[in-house]
Chain A
């Protein structure tokens, strides 16, 4: 499926950018006239993915976070959040609800569970020492014509 529109951005893994990232993505998606609930779902998933980069991928360091958003046919939105941080050794374990490697930071261990519950599809690819790419997809209730 070819993208009808696309946006990419990169920014530093500072926690102050978590709000910027979810608002920028939601501003791009607004052209599809999503419902408030759909927009909230996307903002939440982006926030979880970016927080993972800040807290885990680049723990105690600052690195770059890359986000790519594609709008495809039938109001399907595909969002990629990529880092070049530490990577995840055991993806299955990392995706278990309540599993966290940062309990001292009061992380609930729900990041991936939230992404899976709020999005239609979630895919995680990671290489230890190379980085992680999280891709998620959601089809919006198309209320306006495409284009």
Chain B
């Protein structure tokens, strides 16, 4: 995973499979940098993610909580079509943090 910084924003480019096994390392890498820099915005870029189970939802919710502690926000961007079903099921759309191809995912409710 590549993490880039620009101004008050940190972007994490997630890649490969996100499951319970891989989520731990991703979480530790992101949190270490977030706690050090305390950015206003954390972007989670999903364009390189080939598979995700509900561990990915836990990962997003956990980062959302962490950023809230610092008064910052999370944006989930470039969600591939194959992950939309999981994102919609999670209820995360209610938090208004998911963008897909520049547009927000429609709430299924």
A residues in contact (CB < 8 Å) with B: 15-16, 18-19, 22, 36-37, 40-41, 43-44, 47-48, 51, 54-55, 105-108, 110-111, 113-114, 117-118
Q: How far is the CA of A16 from the CA of B21 in the complex (A)?
A: 6
Interfacial chain B residues near A15, Cβ < 8 Å: 19-21
B105 at the interface (CB under 8 A from A): no
Interfacial chain A residues near B59, Cβ < 8 Å: 106
Determine if A19 and B54 form an interchain contact, defined as CB atoms under 8 angstroms apart: no
Determine if B57 and A18 form an interchain contact, defined as CB atoms under 8 angstroms apart: no
Chain B's closest residue to A41 (CB) is: B85
B97 at the interface (CB under 8 A from A): no
Interfacial chain A residues near B20, Cβ < 8 Å: 15, 18, 51, 54-55, 105
Q: How far is the CA of A43 from the CA of B59 in the complex (A)?
A: 19
Task: Knowing A15-B21, A18-B20, A47-B19, say if A36 contacts B57 (CB, 8 Å).
Answer: no
Determine if B89 and A51 form an interchain contact, defined as CB atoms under 8 angstroms apart: no
Among B55-109, those with CB < 8 Å from A are 55, 57-59, 61-62, 82, 85-86, 89-90
Determine if A108 and B61 form an interchain contact, defined as CB atoms under 8 angstroms apart: yes
DSSP majority for the A interface? Answer: helix
Interfacial chain B residues near A43, Cβ < 8 Å: 51
Query: A18-B21, A108-B90 provided; 17 other pairs, C-beta below 8 A?
Result: A15-B19, A15-B20, A19-B17, A40-B51, A44-B51, A105-B20, A105-B58, A106-B23, A106-B55, A106-B61, A108-B57, A108-B61, A110-B89, A111-B54, A114-B53, A114-B86, A114-B89
Interfacial chain B residues near A54, Cβ < 8 Å: 20
Q: How far is the CA of A51 from the CA of B43 in the complex (A)?
A: 27
Which size class do B's interface residues fall under?
20 to 34
Determine if A113 and B89 form an interchain contact, defined as CB atoms under 8 angstroms apart: yes
Q: How far is the CA of A108 from the CA of B91 in the complex (A)?
A: 11
Determine if A106 and B54 form an interchain contact, defined as CB atoms under 8 angstroms apart: no
Chain B's closest residue to A100 (CB) is: B58
Interfacial chain B residues near A36, Cβ < 8 Å: 82
Q: How far is the CA of A18 from the CA of B53 in the complex (A)?
A: 11
Task: Knowing A18-B21, A40-B82, A51-B53, say if A106 contacts B89 (CB, 8 Å).
Answer: no
Interfacial chain A residues near B55, Cβ < 8 Å: 51, 106-108
